[in-house]
Structure 1
């Protein structure tokens, strides 16, 4: 029986929704935070760079949802391996990892979870619909131009409501142990097509401009990102935007036994006429 769940990254787009849904299921859910400001009773201080309090954070937890800042970075494998070790020592029963699709660089982290000695599930997610409202592209949508590295490659954008439902099910139910789920929407769109649909719904001119990795790197640095971080992001995006992910996964159908939410529904719900 899973009663206590720790969500690492519980303030993020996916983690926040998982926390909300677990609370509605009368589970004791704890979310990690990076500093001690305004910490509530169900929040725990956690840093990937400092393991000193990890035993205390993991003590008493039955399952852990792991959202790493970037599982494609070189340090991620060691950090997740260390976390899995601490989790096993704390008698955690289940680990669920949020992973990426089509990224060879994240497979090492997935291997760590699969060889942790604990029950596990891996959830490989497509790009979130909510990146257009809460993430990468929301500023561009509001200001009339979205600039990104994706050109003609199509993506099966997934709604975070679907993704969080999948994660909750994987955390709570044994039937999902040992599974790798590809969680996507059920339609393919280019980023330009997605932006055009949003622009039409808003009755507003919003252009999409595809740029090279070098140009995007320069833009990231101009906006204040350190050069090494910008370089890694360009590498990671190049890895997943070359067309390899132009496929539709069946994770939503397998876990939730229903079809994914339509991107058009997301657009209609979240964007209003100007």
Structure 2
């Protein structure tokens, strides 16, 4: 008797943003299972650029499924149009299953989700709505703040249920290989709420570096991003998005990881300890 995973090994999966925080993890796990993987990226063997849809159909052709991780964020103004175009390309090439990375508590992202669903009505769509990644502090936008000792962010004293990107990748792969429910919405969080001040304390203990949280307003955060060279429109979008996400409406946990994978979500303390052991903050 063949298992779902054995059946999936004979299929091909396109992983968009295949070198990104989640795409890389998904591609590595699928490859380890023997699934044929196309890791799409701007400079890789499978050309894929979210800003140039001319190559999307070539990347999708012959694939049975796709992991869709849109950059910069599914809540961005350009996302609904991009999702509609990607969905049409998926429909033309006969892709049967789509797993979409979305944001938790992002009304604009829901509009983009619907655009993809409507453009590819015959494809089975699974949506994974995620909380903030713990890896934002070890390999993402907030890494520099840890290294310099100041986490500057418009979060105030609001708690966030940070989720580990490895948990999300495990769930995405489980959906793609038939080991977790597909065609539904998974909402993923970590097991507890932490304020950014509490995060700074966790990072201080794990890294051996003094890290403190510096609260700022949305406009102040946008101005800081602009000083680092980010275009004004993108800086303002991100500042508004983060301010909205940290207004308290997401300050609750879910059991999405446990329901889908049968185990507890990784705690922030475990992430911080492992990241420190791996040398994330030695720079």
Q: Which runs of 5+ in 1 are unaligned?
A: none
Give the secondary structure class of the aligned counterpart of 1:106. Answer: helix
Tell me the number of residue pairs that the alignment of Structure 1 and Structure 2 aligns: 268
* C-alpha displacement of 1:175: 5.5
CA contact (8 A) 1:181 1:250 kept: no
Structure 1 CA distance for aligned equivalents of residues 13 and 173 of structure 2: 10
Structure 1 CA distance for aligned equivalents of residues 55 and 239 of structure 2: 33
Which residue of the partner structure matches residue 202 of structure 1?
207
* C-alpha displacement of 1:20: 0.4
Which residue of the partner structure matches residue 49 of structure 1?
51
The reply to whether residue 83 of structure 1 matches residue 80 of structure 2 is no
Deviations 1:173-225 (A, max 9, x none): 18622210111111110011011111022333211101011111111111111
Structure 1-normalised TM-score?
Answer: 0.93
Structure 2 CA distance for aligned equivalents of residues 81 and 266 of structure 1: 36
Give the secondary structure class of the aligned counterpart of 2:70. Answer: coil
CA contact (8 A) 2:164 2:190 kept: yes
Structure 2 CA distance for aligned equivalents of residues 103 and 186 of structure 1: 20
Structure 2-normalised TM-score?
Answer: 0.90
Q: Give every structure 1 segment of 4 or more consecutive aligned residues whose post-TM-superposition deviation is greater than 6 Å.
A: none
* C-alpha displacement of 1:47: 2.0
Structure 2 CA distance for aligned equivalents of residues 72 and 213 of structure 1: 17
Give the secondary structure class of the aligned counterpart of 1:53. Answer: helix
**Cα RMSD over matched residues?**
1.6
1:130-141 alignment to 2 at 5 Å?
130-141=135-146
Which residue of the partner structure matches residue 29 of structure 2?
21
Q: Which runs of 5+ in 2 are unaligned?
A: 1-6
Compared with structure 1, are the counterparts of its residues 169 and 243 closer, same or farther at alpha carbon in structure 2 (3 Å cutoff)?
same
Give the secondary structure class of the aligned counterpart of 1:54. Answer: helix
1:179-194 alignment to 2 at 5 Å?
179-194=184-199
Give the secondary structure class of the aligned counterpart of 2:53. Answer: coil
Give the secondary structure class of the aligned counterpart of 2:145. Answer: helix
Structure 1 CA distance for aligned equivalents of residues 49 and 28 of structure 2: 22
Question: Aligned to 1:11, which of 12, 19, 28?
Answer: 19
